[in-house]
């Protein structure tokens, strides 16, 4: 796949995860699932940056590791370590059986949305 097309596909998938989670957040009680999609969006936004800059990465889901990789190219990513640490635990391996954390509430889901939005906006500003 050509890099520009690959980049656009990653960005589209990130926007879909973010948009889906944001659209259902006001009317759901499935906050763990919503947080999973915010984590997925943040992961994809970071990988968009990594791909755009031609950085090497392995198949990982730990956002702190991805932020650390991004910050090697741009120190501005250091400010997202707290967001990465907050969002990373929402990753769930999508194989069965899935064990969603039951203690996740709306407050955490809103915080996940805000953390993801910060990462999204920063990555988008760097790619312009």
Query: Which tens digit of pLDDT belongs to each residue from 29-76?
Result: 999 999 999 999 999 999 999 999 999 888 888 999 999 999 999 999
Q: Where are the domains of the chain?
A: 3-127
CB-CB contact of 45 with 83 (8 Å): no
Go through 82-91 and write b for each residue having 16 or more CB atoms within 10 A of its CB, e for each that does not.
ebbebbbebb
pTM above 0.85, yes or no: yes
What is the per-residue pLDDT across 67-76, written as a single tens digit (0 to 9) for each?
A: 999 999 999 9
Rounded-to-integer distance, Cα 7 and Cα 12, Å? 9
| pLDDT value at residue 21 | 98
Residue 60: CB atoms within 10 Å: 13
What is the per-residue pLDDT across 96-112, written as a single tens digit (0 to 9) for each?
A: 566 666 689 999 999 99
What is each CA distance from 91 to 42, 53, 100, 104, 117, in whole angstroms? Answer: 11, 25, 10, 13, 17
| pLDDT value at residue 1 | 46
**Domain 3-127: assigned CATH number:** 1.20.120.330
Q: Which two tokens mark 5? A: 């097309």
Q: Which two tokens mark 80? A: 């997202």
């Amino acid at each position: 796949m050509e890099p520009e097309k690959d980049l656009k596909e990653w960005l589209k998938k990130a926007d879909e995860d973010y948009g889906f989670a944001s659209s259902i957040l006001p009317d759901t009680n499935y906050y763990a699932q919503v947080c999973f999609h915010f984590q997925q969006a943040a992961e994809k936004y970071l990988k968009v940056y990594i791909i755009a800059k031609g950085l090497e990465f392995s198949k990982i889901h730990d956002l702190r590791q991805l932020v650390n990789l991004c910050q090697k190219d741009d120190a501005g990513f250091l400010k997202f370590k707290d967001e990465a640490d907050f969002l990373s635990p929402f990753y769930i391996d999508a194989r069965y059986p899935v064990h969603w954390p039951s203690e996740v509430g709306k407050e955490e889901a809103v915080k996940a949305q805000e953390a993801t939005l910060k990462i999204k906006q920063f990555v988008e500003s760097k790619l312009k």
